[in-house]
Every structure is written in C-alpha cells, then in structure tokens.
Amino acid sequence: MNSTQKHTELIKAEAKRLGFLSCGISKAGFLEEEAPRLEAWLNKNMHGEMQYMENHFDKRLDPTKLVEDSKSVVSLLLNYYPSEIQKDPEAPKISKYAYGTDYHFVIKDKLKHLLNFIQDEIGEVSGRAFVDSAPVLDKAWAAKSGLGWIGKHSNLLTQQVGSFYFIAELIIDLDLEYDSPVTDHCGSCTACIDACPTQAIVDPYVVDGSKCISYFTIELKNEIPIHAQGHFDDWMFGCDICQDVCPWNKFSKPHNEPLFNPHPELLSMTKKDWEEITQEVFSEIFKKSAVKRTKYTGLVRNIKFLKTE
C-alpha cells in the first residue's frame, strides 16, 4: 500500500470513529459543471434577499482560492434524523435538523479533531474546516466524492440512508485517493415536486430559493408576502416536506449524536404553547439551537403568519 492509499484509509477510518455517516474525497479544482448553473440561478434572482450568495463567486467554485495549495476536498456526512418528532399534529413545525444543538458547533468540533488527527498521524498538513458557513458548494463536492447524487429537490440523496444529514468539508493540501460520483436514482419520481406547497421546485433539480418555505421562515427578514399565505403547511422554521415525501428516506435511521437530541420540552409543546411563547421560553428551549438564527421576533412573526392562514 502506498502512502496516498494509507493516508486515505486513515482519514476515512477516523471520520467513522468520530461518528460521521460517511466520508468521500475529491481532487480540489474548479467546478466546471456547476459554474454556469450557479450563474443562471443568481441571474434569475432565485436567491431572493440572500445577497451573500452573490459574493465570492470564484471561491464558491474553486477551493484552491479558499485554501492555498489545496489538493483534496474531504466531504463528510453526519446523520441528524430524529427518533421522535413533535407530538401535537396541529402545532407549528420545526425542521428536524434544528431539534438539537446547532450543527455548526457540533460538526466544527468533529472537523477540528479530524484535522488534528491528520496532522498528528501524517505530518505537516494545512487545511480548513467548512460547515455551511463559507462559500463552498457542499452538495456539489459531496456528489463529486461519491457520497450520493443531487436529487430533484436539489438535496444530496444516498441510497442506503436518504437525505437527513449535514454535509461538511475539510479542504487540505494533501494528495489522497479520489472517489467517483454515483449515478442518479431519482428515475421518473416527482414526489418532491408534486408535494412542495409553494412550488419552489420550478424544474427537476432547480429550486427557486425565494419561493421556499425555509427561505420565508429563516432567511427573509422582512414581512412574509401575502401571496404565500395558506401554503406553509404549519412550518414555522424551515421545512422538510420534499425530504419527508422522498421514497429514499424510508431508509433513514435515527442518529446517535446526543447533542442532536431536542430540549426535553420541545417535542411536547402544543399549538397553544407555541402561540403563547415568551422570550424566556424561547431563550431556554433554543439556547444552543440553530433556531436562534431567526430570533424570537422572527419565530413569533412566523407563528402569527400561520395563524392567519
């Protein structure tokens, strides 16, 4: 076994030990296929008010501009599928990824461990960890690394486990063995397209971000437009509809990351509890949660919007 193979196996074994679902590796370089797609998506204003999507266009497409002399993109998946969901069927809903501790903290910590391990075991390796917080096209890299294919709802899909997982990367200046992409297994299925209440999936594999419930409830800072009323299906933070209806998600298994377990009160809160939520309760339940992104005022705005539906 040569050193490249050995290093690759070491990294994948440690990723597994740290609790990652899977690990795939790609050669760092310009994402030629994604460049025209991203440009067209931005030109059609499908990013709505997410102005940050326009920034760092070159860096989004080329990791060597983010990490000098980078050779490899190590993509990692971490399961967040919960064993239980909210109990009151009439309560406003939170996307499953936000039930527990904010994934940025959880994954960043694991990535630091992985990078330290690489440096301890292999030697002087430079790199950076990315968790959805820098201009990196996570899904494109994960697909290129053979971890799944991009589904018609534009999420990454994997045959054995579906799509309820986070994607993260280490971009490092170390040559490794590279994985190959897998084939698309969406076939003629249109479940996600048919189920989207705001018709955000405008074409197979193309999501108009400015029509997505997740955009309205998290990213949009102004008032939610009236035309969206009656189309939220009780989602107050994020939305899982396109994933919930996907046939591949029947293979989802509960995660085993204690930090992703919800606050004890979260799942039992009733519709009335949510409609009467105070700043104190919000701060307690969402102390380390991704829901803090929308702030108390944003969540109350979303809940009020659902009441008028």
- Catalytic (active-site) positions: 132
Question: CB of 169 within 8 A of CB of 128?
Answer: no
Indicate the Cα dihedral angle 53, 55, 60, 66, nearest 10°.
-140
Annotated binding residue 240:
yes
Annotated binding residue 301:
no
Annotated binding residue 212:
yes
Annotated binding residue 132:
yes
Token look-up 């829901």 returns 291
Whole-number Å distance between alpha carbons of 122 and 10: 9
Whole-number Å distance between alpha carbons of 165 and 210: 23
Token look-up 């992104």 returns 293
Residues 6+ apart with CB under 8 A from 199: 211
Annotated binding residue 145:
no
Single-letter code of the amino acid located at 12: K
Annotated binding residue 186:
yes
Provide the β-strand partners of residue 128. Answer: 171
Annotated binding residue 60:
yes
Whole-number Å distance between alpha carbons of 243 and 17: 27
Annotated binding residue 23:
no
- Burial of residue 275 (CB within 10 Å: 0-12, 13-18, 19+) is middle
DSSP E strand boundaries for the chain: 22-27, 72-79, 93-94, 127-130, 149-150, 156-157, 165-172, 201-203, 206-207, 235-237
Annotated binding residue 192:
yes
Q: Binding-site residues for tRNA, please?
A: 221
Q: Binding-site residues for [4Fe-4S] cluster, please?
A: 186, 189, 192, 196, 212, 239, 242, 246
Q: Binding-site residues for cob(II)alamin, please?
A: 60, 132, 156, 167, 214, 239-240
Q: Binding-site residues, please?
A: 60, 132, 156, 167, 186, 189, 192, 196, 212, 214, 221, 239-240, 242, 246
